[in-house]
Amino acid sequence: MQDTIQSKRMSVLTYGCQMNENDSERFVGQLKSVGYELTDKLDQADLIMINTCCVRESAEQKIYGKIGELKRLKAVNPNLIIGIAGCMAQKDRDEIFKKAAHVDFVIGTHNVHKLTELIAEVENKKDKVLAVWDQAERLAEDVPAVHKGKVSAYVPIMYGCNNFCTYCIVPYVRGRERSRPMEDIIKEIEQLGQEGFKEITLLGQNVNSYGKDDKQEDGFAQLLARVDQVESIERIRYMTSHPRDMNQAVIDVICQSKKICEQFHLPIQSGSNRVLAKMNRGYTTEYYTKLIEQIRKKVPQASITTDIIVGFPGETEELFLETLEFLKTIRFDAAYTFIYSKRSGTPAATMPDQIPLAEKKARLQALMDVQNTISLEINKQLEGSVVEVLVEGPSKNDDTKLMGRTRTNKIILWDKQGPEQVGQLLSVKIDHAQTWVLKGKLYNY
């Protein structure tokens, strides 16, 4: 039996955020443990999983399109097993079988650690299997993960979200906040260090409330301080922070640490207090501005990035202009900008004054124009300076170049030369800054 399983091949396609990336790594880990090997050639796979996102409608449409494409492969190979996982699976459940009859199983976000049992059931039952629990039964601690890459790894520290921002589907598909025990996290990071990983990113939908489900007030600050002690790791990142929960204790730990990177991703979502209140974000622009001032005072070299949604219900032209002005005041290093997408079941979906798509698109463009100018101006200031980069590997678009990141998470490209440098910390002198990447030359090499 084992022999037949051993020759099987799998492909796992991942959409959405880093949490999904990490879940996929745990799918791959589990499937490897029962003899599957990875292939990126879908037409050679015996098992294809799509790990889905449903944060915006556009993501869902793209994913349903991809699921549709797999029908052709199933026609050629009737033994092909097709599974749908992730947030859209949690939301749509057996609807997925109705929309796509060639799908064999649907696995929810709370069942990630149950994949091998599920696959065995699918293989034996020869019928569709739906495995979507409404709640997490326990934290999935003992699931092997096969990490993409060898330099940088994601480590989840908490699952779920309690915030219920009125636009957001995540609390409905990822459940309530559950923090992993600190010792388990540290053990995992030490192990990654021993395997040669140099950078870790602590993951959670709201990392700043780490430990609060266990009545620890400054749990995240304490965790960061502990992770900072892990010898073999050179750089520590974390995401995502909720501005309301980012506090002085965390900023102080970052300030004292050598390894926690000077990068703050703090999604503001809107620069209008009226819109922020309707979004249920729990802070004002004044609060946020003070927070940024504190960070810049304590960590002057910090890069600060954000997420912004345009076209939230009731966002008038005037309120949108407040967001534009806010961008100009704060001067973010980068902003990830999104068009508001109605998610049914969320409070904002039934709010009055929904904004027409054409208007939302125009606002997005205006926002990007302002932000791109600012990003470029900030990056230009780096021209002529020497930065420390952690080498991740060849550039995606040009394999004569290597790609690495600064501690502030800027992407740096330079000409590949000399022996293998992946995983090393090198100095690069920046000679050409662009909006999203900076180009340079190896310095003193």
Provide the annotated binding site for [4Fe-4S] cluster. Answer: 17, 53, 87, 161, 165, 168
Question: Closest separation between CB of residue 267 and ligand 5AD, Å?
Answer: 4
Binding residues: 17, 53, 87, 161, 165, 168
Q: Give the span between the Cα atoms of 29 and 146, in whole angstroms.
A: 5
Residue nearest to ligand SF4 (CB): 16
Residue 55 binds ligand SF4, judged by CB under 6 A = yes
Q: Which amino acid is at 43?
A: D
Residue 20 binds ligand SF4, judged by CB under 6 A = yes
Place of tokens 């993501």: 59
Residue 19 binds ligand SF4, judged by CB under 6 A = yes
Residue 157 binds ligand SF4, judged by CB under 6 A = no
**Residue 20 binding: pick among ligand 5AD, ligand SF4, none (C-beta 5-8 Å cut-off by kind):** ligand SF4
Q: Which of 31, 48, 53, 203 binds ligand SF4 (CB under 6 A)?
A: 53
Residue 16 binds ligand SF4, judged by CB under 6 A = yes
User: Nearer Cβ to ligand 5AD, position 90 or 341?
Assistant: 341
Q: Which of 31, 81, 87, 364 binds ligand SF4 (CB under 6 A)?
A: 87
Instruction: Decide if 179 contacts 211 (C-beta within 8 A).
Output: yes
User: Nearer Cβ to ligand 5AD, position 115 or 168?
Assistant: 168
Residue 63 binds ligand SF4, judged by CB under 6 A = no
Identify which range of 27-35, 182-190, 257-265, 336-344 contacts ligand 5AD by CB under 6 A.
336-344
Q: Give the span between the Cα atoms of 445 and 443, in whole angstroms.
A: 5
Residue 338 binds ligand 5AD, judged by CB under 6 A = yes
Cα 371 → chain centroid: 21
Q: Give the span between the Cα atoms of 286 and 317, in whole angstroms.
A: 21
Q: Checking DSSP bridges between strand 152-156 and strand 199-203, what pairing results, if any?
A: parallel
Q: Which of 52, 109, 166, 269 binds ligand 5AD (CB under 6 A)?
A: 269
Question: Closest separation between CB of residue 55 and ligand 5AD, Å?
Answer: 5
286-315 residues in contact with ligand 5AD (CB under 6 A) are 307, 309
**Residue 309 binding: pick among ligand SF4, ligand 5AD, none (C-beta 5-8 Å cut-off by kind):** ligand 5AD
Size of the site for ligand 5AD (CB under 6 A): 12
Residue 239 binds ligand 5AD, judged by CB under 6 A = no
Question: Closest separation between CB of residue 281 and ligand 5AD, Å?
Answer: 10
User: Nearer Cβ to ligand SF4, position 269 or 272?
Assistant: 269
Rounded to whole angstroms, what are the CA distances from 395 to 40, 151, 402? 19, 15, 5
Question: Closest separation between CB of residue 203 and ligand SF4, Å?
Answer: 10
Q: Which of 12, 48, 157, 170 binds ligand SF4 (CB under 6 A)?
A: 170
User: Nearer Cβ to ligand 5AD, position 56 or 114?
Assistant: 56
Please give the angle made by the CA atoms of 7, 11 and 13, to the nearest 5 degrees. Answer: 170
Residue nearest to ligand 5AD (CB): 307
Edge-to-edge strands of the sheet including 303-310?
Answer: 263-265, 303-310, 334-339
Question: Closest separation between CB of residue 19 and ligand SF4, Å?
Answer: 5
**Residue 118 binding: pick among ligand SF4, ligand 5AD, none (C-beta 5-8 Å cut-off by kind):** none
Question: Closest separation between CB of residue 8 and ligand SF4, Å?
Answer: 26
User: Nearer Cβ to ligand 5AD, position 54 or 107?
Assistant: 54
**Residue 53 binding: pick among ligand SF4, ligand 5AD, none (C-beta 5-8 Å cut-off by kind):** ligand SF4
Residue 50 binds ligand SF4, judged by CB under 6 A = no
Contact footprint for ligand 5AD (CB under 6 A):
55-56, 167-168, 267, 269, 307, 309, 338, 340-341, 343
Binding site for ligand SF4 (CB under 6 A): 16-17, 19-20, 53-55, 86-87, 169-170, 173-174
